[in-house]
Amino acid sequence: MTSVPYRILHELSGRLRLRVPALAAASVGEPLRYWLESLDGVLDVRLNRAARSLAIDFDPRLLPRERLLARLADFKPGEPLETHREPADEPSVTPLVRNVLTLLLLPLLPRPAQHVATYLNIGTKLVKGADTLIHEGVKVEVLDALAVGLSASRGKLYTANITDLLLTLGEYLEERTQRQSDRLLRRLLRPAPTLAWVERDGQLVQIPGDQVQAGETLVVGVGETIPVDGYVVEGAALVNQAAVTGEDVPVAREAPKRVVAGSVLVEGRLRIRATRVGEDTTTARVARFIQESLDKSSETQRLADELADQRVYLTLGSAAAVYALTRDLTRVQSVFLVDYSCALKLGTPVAFKSGLYEAANHGVLIKGGEAMERLAEIDTLVFDKTGTLTHSELEVTDVVVLDPRCGESEEALLAMVASVEEHATHPLSQAVVEAARERDLQHISHGEVDYMVAHGLNAQLDCCRIIVGSRHYLEEHEGIRFDAHEMQVKRLLDEGKTLLYVASEHGPMGLIALRDTLRADAEATLERLRALGIERLVMISGDRQEKAEALGRTLRLDQVHGEVRPEEKAALITALQREGRKVGFVGDGINDGPALVAADVGIAMSRGADLARASADIVLTDDRLLAVADAREIAFGTMRIIRTNFNATVGINTAIMAGALMGRLSPVASALLHNGTTLGVLVNALRGARLTESGSVIREAESSHPV
């Protein structure tokens, strides 16, 4: 199909408004929105199908205007694009315009025409109220219809139209807020689209990753993301699976080993036979899970909805009582317009979504209001060590000389290995080179480096041919055994370190041990979490108990569990819960899935495995531990806003109700005050929770449920 035509209507720095005739088709709008929003640098895309208009906000520093227009030109209507179903258009302003025009025209019309214009204007409200009464019972829409209808029937046309305008304005702002917050959140969930090179009819064709068919063969090169689950049919490569399995060191992949979607090729080249594609990949399943989670209501929101519905009957009962006592229909209309429901039902979800969006902007994806609610309530936080308190940047910890014939010191061995490893891009190689650079070691001259992808390398030195790589490579490919040094190897492995084996043609030369490093923000994060009300901080590790306790002392943890097998993590969480604690768990690997599910709230690190991210209630999108504390603070702030809104709604509307019952407020004044309260609650909810300058808040003593 041809690309979609467009015409620029208006342009400012960072903003374009275009006329796109193709928007007349209902099937074009959302795919086009998704196509544009998936481009890095696009901030917002708004569609108006009725006007065939498209408005795009973008960051010119990240996205040049020409590239944005080229992206638009590349869109092909009718091509399948994976997108979330959501309302295509912005809420209509037509009812508001109709209200304003009616009020402006009323003084110019004769009395009979004024009645006709008024009923045409408020007809939608009356029909909606009748439909709600028939199908759902007594709801706020019924009260609104009664109030507006009574004013019109008594000839108070201005009162009826002004009241309808105020109610319509509240509904418009509510709908706009809901759609905007939903769209912003869903856009944050969309994975960046990946492209795939697929062999078709003897040629390589580049297509979107979600259009690869099962059984097709893909070719993946350095730096590219594997878009499908499948098996290697040819080639050898290093594959970074950190986003899938949590492993911090790239792994070797060659035929017939399995690869998974989301992995990134670090070195080499692979031909892959696709087995799981599109909706069957782990990434797609996780996206569905998150989308479903966002649609769930929290306990606070459900309770607010129940209380709001109950107060509709309170309003109706009060109106009936005041009419029975006074026979004053004006008072009845005023009472009808005192509605607790709008502010209660509006404030809670909007506050949650504002909090969710604020959290997302700080690198935290919280899967719905219920997860945020539970995050604010936990008093114990358990950390898995590897990948959470520590990160994947490796550092050299030990240089062990096994045979001094090519150098008697650790520095000599490290200098030789670094001189050869600087020609490789593997993280282990980079760590060794960095260690040599920090020690200011001199480069050792050597011959050409012979590199075997995903296994190791070797080069000729003056003294010998040095061979560096995995134990498997040296023993199976080079025939050099390390059995005589098993004690040193075992000691280092028991300490949780990764080993690089060094040998010459004469035999083993040495070992270089590396380990992941403590996150720079770990101590600050734990200190801030304590200030945010976390009473107990716990660490779980597979390391020896002594090693785990040493780290625990450094971080001043309350409890440390070492030598924990993966299947035991969930049991430890359950044991803490049996003590009456509300427990959060922070992890990143596939084996953390059960613990993430068992905890009251599970938090997955940004580089966590897909299974961990799917199991978790909260996913960090930034690779920083402080984001956990940010999430806790935002959750606190959001719950505080919900409490404030609830108290304000009940207090102010009760005062308005009292004024209406005593005949001190007219219907217009009642509607104005009620809608003013609702808009105030909305503004406060939209403001959302914000992180304090110091990055911490003091937990409120109030621990009861917000409503």
Which residues sit opposite 253 in a β-bridge?
237
Q: Can you give the pLDDT at residue 695?
A: 45
Q: Can you give the pLDDT at residue 613?
A: 65
Residue 208: phi, psi to the nearest 5?
A: -60, 140
Residue 466 to residue 178: CA distance in whole angstroms: 64
Radius of gyration of the chain (CA): 32
Q: Can you give the pLDDT at residue 233?
A: 92
What is the tens place of the pLDDT at every residue in 420-437? Answer: 888 877 778 888 998 998
Q: Can you give the pLDDT at residue 206?
A: 86
Residue 89: phi, psi to the nearest 5?
A: -110, 160
Q: Can you give the pLDDT at residue 556?
A: 92
Residue 309 to residue 470: CA distance in whole angstroms: 67
Q: Can you give the pLDDT at residue 706?
A: 34
Residue 467 to residue 674: CA distance in whole angstroms: 79
Q: Can you give the pLDDT at residue 128?
A: 85
Q: Can you give the pLDDT at residue 299?
A: 54
Tell me the HSE value of 54 on the side-chain side, using a 13 A CA sphere.
27
Which residues sit opposite 121 in a β-bridge?
none
Residue 201: other Cβ atoms inside 10 A: 5
Residue 286 to residue 604: CA distance in whole angstroms: 13
Q: Which residues are catalytic?
A: 384
Q: Is the dihedral of CA 620, 622, 624, 627 positive or negative?
A: negative
Domains of the chain: 7-90 (3.30.70.100), 94-184+297-352+635-687 (no CATH), 195-288 (2.70.150.10), 364-378+520-621 (3.40.50.1000), 391-517 (3.40.1110.10)
Residue 608 to residue 589: CA distance in whole angstroms: 6
Size (the chain), residues? 707
Burial state string for 45-72 with b = 16 or more CB within 10 A and e = fewer than 16: bebbbeebbbbbebeeeebeeeebeebb
Mean pLDDT, consecutive 10-residue stretches, the chain (707 aa), reads 74 88 77 73 79 86 82 69 45 80 87 87 85 77 72 74 74 64 52 75 84 90 84 88 55 84 83 81 51 52 55 66 71 63 66 78 78 90 86 82 76 90 80 90 84 78 86 88 90 79 90 85 92 92 75 89 80 92 85 82 77 74 86 89 80 75 71 69 70 45 34
Do 670 and 566 touch, CB atoms closer than 8 A?
A: no
Residue 469 to residue 458: CA distance in whole angstroms: 9
Residue 245 to residue 39: CA distance in whole angstroms: 27
115-123's contacts with Cβ under 8 Å and 24+ in sequence apart are 115/152, 115/157, 118/152, 118/157, 118/160, 118/161, 119/152, 121/161, 121/164, 122/148, 122/149, 122/152, 122/160, 122/161, 122/164
